[in-house]
Structure 1
């Protein structure tokens, strides 16, 4: 790690061409939310936001696009329309971090300095890690709700499949929204059941893990749907190769003795979730742990080695679920703690690991999983109103009608409804 630091610093010129009091890397859900939370606390802050993208996507909506509930265009807006007023948008990519000199280098060679750095570029969907996948995505029955352009193809395939084999995969953890692979499975099966095709479509779920869902309290409700849809569950199976034209998928199956064997399966439809890693420029930086994720304190989200760096969202090594709901709770924590680092407060905000996964078990019903670090249940509503361990129509209504405007109009605008951070006396580490 230290060798990376010195090599990065050597690549940075002595004087930064631009400098901001607070510099944010990444304008996804986490980046826009933390920028807005900072502005809501102090509109005089000098904030730079680095991101090369032209569009911003509401990714939690893609599951419903893949089920014919949402139109794709409802999940995308221009980035320019979402950058908070007063925030300087730097439309570039970062290539080098120099934390010891408080600078980053951009792809066009410019150097940007900072007093406080916030890192939240999301993660990388590693499609190329599965042999043959890139060559066949979007054709030959191979799809994924993890891409904006492919989610409509999922719905097309579900509607057109009259009989045959439908395979759904889940890669090794960590991944963005661990419930999303199952959401595609359940909503597809629900359509086939309601259109009288369940008996003609043999459905299999191949999970690289050993359990259906990481928080045991929600498994009984999910298993009822696995049985209802007659899904063949296959644990410890990792997709390693796809031959689209031949419609064959190869899995590595982990055996009890630790060895592996390969399994070749035919398919008519294949919904793939790719392995996921931190972005390349993050993994090559001095900010990461041994696994390649940004190394932060799980409570304060402050970097363990560099006191003026915080991180949030999918790129961190915290053990929470990587969801938009987690970023919604993390953004106010980071915003407060950055201001504490600037001497504006003596209190620290703490993140409890909250994450939420609305598991769409059928069209019109959801198992609303909400939990904190260690899998502790953390319901937002009283159990008499909404028991997340059971499928409810109220949870579906929240997912379909409430969460999208909550995302666009509250989370990305610095309005912290149900997201106010918990403060404790203390000070940011020096």
Structure 2
């Protein structure tokens, strides 16, 4: 509603103006101030908010998250393999966020860390004393020419990395009878890097079980220099792909998909002349390029590559000390997994708490621990665990580089329960204490390992 107001100018003329009334509730929304603002309601955001909402009390913590649904994305490998559904992997966002925190159902559109404010997509400006940024990664399907169109129109093109496209994967596996089944991995950091090849092993076993493997070439075109970055696990995986006659092509990056002719064009990354190679496909599983969210890239919080610029040990921002980061959007040089977030969450809890208490935010150090359960079929898994330097950091007193059914059940049956009931509720900070117990105190982290319940 507008009010009509009359103003007198210096010349004595009267000017009639319509002035919009803003409700007092809108003003109050724009003036909201929180002790802690958590940007992002994914794995890292839920975990951090749960820890501090219980610590700081009701109304002191806000979560900025536009999505209505929270997904347990590691389950999408099994959705693509035909043994789980997307609904198995989802919960309403309002059910997983901590009750003592305020949920602001909007996204961030601008960061002003000098003034400790965030502008939201609903127009609100949120003031914070401390902030945790956990925005995850964005999927850049559009960076591969023709890929968005192929995902919409070609039933042979699929991707387990999106709830929109993961349901295409198993029907595409059912439909292929011969030709080339191609699996890709892009030339950039991605979430759960092992998922690019997990679906390949499941698909190869599916082809075998259904009597069509002899007619299908299974091909893994990866931008990496090897099947896996940690030599201990790469040795096992190389033997698997050799025994199962899977073709590995390294240093190839998908540039274009021509769905009308079913051609996938890859750039040879080591070619000085920008040479390309074309593959015909009958099945194509694409892992899209990924990057930090655009709003983060454009902010003062980003490093030169667009990721949240943090100290990789303390998780505190490199330039703005009241800002911390957790999860995939940061530039911590480790594999981007839920296991990494679990280990980071303990470091974040201790260091941010110390900083709130006027102490140094270097009470604890994150060593880069992460885990990649490499599912190699419908009943086998290699449980890779390692640190920043690629050193194995295994929890169980066995050789985890071997394919094991026990590790498969850990991945499929136990980890989802741990996720929903412990991790995002702030009660799981990684397997460090159990590692020391099982290995009689030898090896593993000495910090970052005791969950605050």
TM-score of the superposed pair, with normalisation by structure 1: 0.91
The aligned runs of 1:17-416 (5 Å cut-off) are 17-43=31-57, 46-140=60-154, 141-255=156-270, 258-343=272-357, 348-383=363-398, 387-416=399-428
Structure 1: unaligned runs, 5 residues or longer: 1-12, 425-430
CA deviation digits over 1:244-271, x for unaligned, max 9? 1221111111336x33201111111100
SS in 1 for 2:232: helix
**Alpha-carbon shift at residue 282 of structure 1 (Å):** 0.3
**Alpha-carbon shift at residue 371 of structure 1 (Å):** 0.6
**Alpha-carbon shift at residue 224 of structure 1 (Å):** 1.9
Q: Which has the greater radius of gyration?
A: 2
133-142 or 161-170, larger mean C-alpha shift: 133-142
SS in 1 for 2:417: helix
**What is the alpha-carbon distance in structure 2 between the residues aligned to residue 43 and residue 30 of structure 1?**
19
Contact 1:333 1:350 in 2 (8 A): yes
**What is the alpha-carbon distance in structure 1 between the residues aligned to residue 111 and residue 446 of structure 2?**
31
**Alpha-carbon shift at residue 417 of structure 1 (Å):** 5.8
CA RMSD of aligned residues (A): 1.9
**What is the alpha-carbon distance in structure 2 between the residues aligned to residue 423 and residue 113 of structure 1?**
32
Higher relative contact order (CA 8 A, sep 6+): 1
SS in 2 for 1:337: helix
373-382 or 278-287, larger mean C-alpha shift: 373-382
Structure 2: unaligned runs, 5 residues or longer: 1-26, 433-444, 449-453
SS in 1 for 2:364: strand
| Number of equivalent positions | 407
TM-score of the superposed pair, with normalisation by structure 2: 0.86
Q: 1:342 to 1:189 in 2, by over 3 A?
A: same
**What is the alpha-carbon distance in structure 2 between the residues aligned to residue 368 and residue 25 of structure 1?**
31
SS in 2 for 1:375: coil
**What is the alpha-carbon distance in structure 1 between the residues aligned to residue 429 and residue 396 of structure 2?**
13
Contact 1:16 1:103 in 2 (8 A): no
Q: Which runs of 4+ in 1 moved over 6 A?
A: 344-347
**What is the alpha-carbon distance in structure 2 between the residues aligned to residue 301 and residue 422 of structure 1?**
17
**Alpha-carbon shift at residue 43 of structure 1 (Å):** 3.8
